[in-house]
Amino acid sequence: MSVNADNLAPLPAGQLPAGQLPEAVLARTRVRAIRLPHSPKAIAGLAILAIFALLTLIGPWVAPYAPNYNAFAPNLHPSAMHWLGTSNLGADLFSQLLNGARATMVVGFIAGLVATLLSVIVGITAGYIGGGTDEGLSLAANVFLAIPGLPLLIVIDSYLPASGRSNTLLIGVIIAITGWAWGARVLRAQTLSIKRRDFVEAARVVGEGRIRIMFFEVLPNLVAIVASSFLFTMLYAIGTYVALAYIGVTSTAVWNWGTMLYWAQSSNAPLTGAWWWFVPPGLCIALVGTGLALLNFGVDEFINPRLRAAGLSRKGMRKAGLPRHPKLGLTPVVRTAPRKPTAPATTARTGVAR
* Neighbour tally for 94: CB within 10 Å: 19
Q: What is the pTM of this model?
A: 0.75
How do the pLDDT tens digits run along the chain, 354 residues long? 444 444 444 444 444 444 444 444 444 444 444 455 567 888 899 999 999 999 999 988 999 999 989 889 998 999 999 999 999 889 999 999 999 999 999 999 999 999 999 999 999 999 999 899 999 999 999 999 888 888 888 888 878 887 777 788 889 999 998 889 989 999 999 999 898 899 999 999 998 889 999 999 999 889 888 998 999 899 999 999 999 999 988 888 889 999 999 999 998 898 888 999 999 999 999 999 999 999 888 877 766 655 555 455 556 556 656 665 655 545 555 555 555 555 554 444 444 444
DSSP 10: E
Return d(Cα 314, Cα 324) in angstroms, integer. 7
For the chain, the structural domain boundaries read 40-309
The answer for 304, left when phi > 0, alpha when psi is -120 to 50, beta otherwise, is beta
CATH 3.30.310.10 fits 40-309, yes or no: no
Return d(Cα 280, Cα 99) in angstroms, integer. 13
Angle formed by the axes of helices 93-129 and 168-177, to 10°?
40
> Which residues are 92's β-sheet partners?
86
SS (H, E, C) 38-64: CCHHHHHHHHHHHHHHHHHHHHHHHCC
User: What is the predicted pLDDT for the residue at 17?
Assistant: 47
Residue 306: strand, helix, or coil: coil
Return d(Cα 108, Cα 238) in angstroms, integer. 5
> Which residues are 11's β-sheet partners?
2
46 CB-contact burial (10 Å; exposed 0-12 / middle 13-18 / buried 19+): middle
* Neighbour tally for 172: CB within 10 Å: 22
Return d(Cα 13, Cα 3) in angstroms, integer. 9
The answer to whether the CB of 307 falls within 8 A of the CB of 300 is yes
Residue 253's identity, in one-letter code, is A
Residues in the chain: 354
Return d(Cα 92, Cα 94) in angstroms, integer. 6
Torsion sign, CA atoms 56, 62, 63, 68: positive
Return d(Cα 201, Cα 93) in angstroms, integer. 60
